[in-house]
């Protein structure tokens, strides 16, 4: 009897699926989270971007921080799009869920390009950072084009 | 009839530099990332050029002045009806072409103006975006990236079609006069005079516009 109950409970826990289902109690929370994460990402992207463009003097430590934060935000992003979180103020297009495979690819692309950006900032070579920044900017842009409403 | 100077050098330089600025802005936007620094520069150039052209339309040589080619609807209709008339009748911009001149100047002005307040949500933010709140900047960015860009593509496309129409159907080359300034056949009385004095005045106008743009972007 106890064994049956335990198996039953285990089955329920195993069927919980993605972390997101337990991470956000409301769809609105997921929207708030991801928009905040993008806002944080934007600030650091602008800062490292202005270094890459030469508008701001290069500071290796600051660029390390910017890239590290962007990499961390990128890692959290995918889980912040649970099904049913498409109501306003979300700017996510329905394709995020309808074309989930493509969306995942964009997310993977973002994770990989921010990781490469982090590696470049550890090298301290501005040319490497510039190239990695451009690639990251492309990842951002490419996802926005297909999956974000203006 | 021999060639007659219709388009002064400042007007011609304006035209081709604007082609460069718009093309450059388009390409750099497509490339993104660090290329956005150049997108901004091409935008500042376009804004300075439009500022210059508006002033030149008031104080420039005859065919550059708005007063000489901007006509009302009745004149435009009359021109359209009698459109097989010889081209000496309109040495400069014809009444219909005048509309496209005004439209393009207005749209480029709006596009460059809105760009100053826009953001691409990645790493590029216009120099005046900090003076408006984020929500407004986002709305302006949408106008800039979604609406303005498409209107410019449409107007440029229309412009190129018109040039092609003139070349292929009416066997009139409109590109060369905008390079050399000379048109043939044309009436000698339509000729404009140009020289160092005129060019100096034009340069001063352009530099004043560029300085104004430089000041605005440094705020």
Residues of A in contact with B146 (CB under 8 A): 150
- Position B186 scores a pLDDT of 81
CA-based nearest residue in chain A for residue B137: A150
CATH number at residue A67: 1.20.120.10
- Position B2 scores a pLDDT of 75
Question: Is A107 contained in some domain?
Answer: yes
Question: Is A20 contained in some domain?
Answer: no
Residue A3 predicted with pLDDT over 60:
yes
* Peptide bond preceding B39 in cis form (omega within 30 of 0): no
Distance, in Å, from the CA atom of B128 to the CA atom of B116, rounded to the nearest integer, reads: 5
**Total count of domains within chain A:** 1
Distances (CA, A) of B111 to A1, A126, B148: 73, 32, 6
Question: Is A104 contained in some domain?
Answer: yes
The verdict on a CB contact (< 8 Å) between A53 and B37 is yes
The predicted complex's ipTM stands at: 0.84
Cα torsion through B162, B164, B170, B173, rounded to 10: 100
Q: How far is B42 from chain A (nearest CA, A)?
A: 15
Nearest CB to A137; choose among B123, B125, B138: B123
Structural domains in chain B?
Answer: 4-217 (1.20.950)
Of B26, B22, B46, nearest in space to B35 by CA: B26
The verdict on a CB contact (< 8 Å) between A150 and B36 is no
Question: Is A5 contained in some domain?
Answer: no
The verdict on a CB contact (< 8 Å) between B123 and A150 is no
- Position B129 scores a pLDDT of 97
Summarize pLDDT for A4-58 with one digit per residue, the tens. 776 667 666 555 444 445 589 999 999 999 999 999 999 999 999 999 999 999 9
Question: Is A37 contained in some domain?
Answer: yes
Low-confidence ranges of chain B (pLDDT < 70): 1, 83-89
The verdict on a CB contact (< 8 Å) between A52 and B33 is yes
3-class secondary-structure state, position B5? strand
Question: Is A115 contained in some domain?
Answer: yes
Enumerate the H helices of chain B as residue ranges: 9-31, 36-59, 66-69, 73-81, 95-115, 134-142, 149-168, 175-180, 196-217
Indicate whether this model's pTM tops 0.80.
Answer: yes
How many alpha carbons fall within 13 Å on the CB side of residue B167?
11
Do the beta carbons of residue B109 and residue B47 sit within 8 Å? Answer: yes
Within an 8 Å CB–CB cutoff, is residue B184 touching chain A? no
- Domain containing A119 equals 28-78+91-147
């Amino acid at each position: 009897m106890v064994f049956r109950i335990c198996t039953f409970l285990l089955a329920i826990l195993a069927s919980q699926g993605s972390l997101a289902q337990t991470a956000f109690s409301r769809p609105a929370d997921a929207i708030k989270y991801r928009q905040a994460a993008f806002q944080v990402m934007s600030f650091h992207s602008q800062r490292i971007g202005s270094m890459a463009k030469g508008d701001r003097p290069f500071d290796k430590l600051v660029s390390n921080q910017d890239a590290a934060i962007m990499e961390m935000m990128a890692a959290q992003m995918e889980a912040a799009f649970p099904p049913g979180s498409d109501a306003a103020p979300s700017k996510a297009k329905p394709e995020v869920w309808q074309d989930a495979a493509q969306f995942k690819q964009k997310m993977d692309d973002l994770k990989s390009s921010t990781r490469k950006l982090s590696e470049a900032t550890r090298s301290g070579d501005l040319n490497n950072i510039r190239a990695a920044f451009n690639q990251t900017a492309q990842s951002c842009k490419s996802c926005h084009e297909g999956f974000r409403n203006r | 009839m021999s060639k007659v100077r219709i388009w002064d050098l400042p007007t011609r330089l304006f035209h081709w530099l604007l082609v460069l600025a718009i093309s450059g802005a388009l390409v750099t936007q497509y490339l993104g990332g660090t290329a956005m620094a150049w997108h901004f520069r091409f935008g500042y150039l376009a804004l300075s050029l439009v500022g210059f052209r508006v002033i030149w339309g008031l104080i420039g040589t005859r065919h550059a002045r708005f007063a000489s080619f901007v006509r009302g609807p009745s004149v435009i209709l009359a021109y359209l009806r009698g459109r097989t008339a010889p081209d000496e009748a309109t040495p400069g911009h014809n009444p219909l072409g005048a509309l496209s001149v005004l439209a393009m100047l207005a749209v480029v002005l709006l596009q460059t103006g809105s760009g100053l307040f826009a953001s691409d949500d990645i790493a590029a933010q216009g120099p005046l975006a900090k003076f408006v709140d984020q929500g407004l900047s986002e709305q302006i960015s949408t106008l800039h990236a979604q609406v303005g860009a498409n209107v410019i593509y449409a107007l440029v496309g229309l412009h190129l079609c018109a040039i092609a129409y003139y070349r292929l159907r009416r066997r009139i080359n409109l590109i060369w006069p905008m390079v050399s300034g000379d048109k043939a056949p044309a009436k000698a009385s339509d000729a404009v005079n140009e020289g160092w004095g005129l060019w100096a005045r034009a340069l001063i106008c352009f530099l004043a516009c560029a300085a104004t743009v430089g000041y605005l972007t440094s705020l």
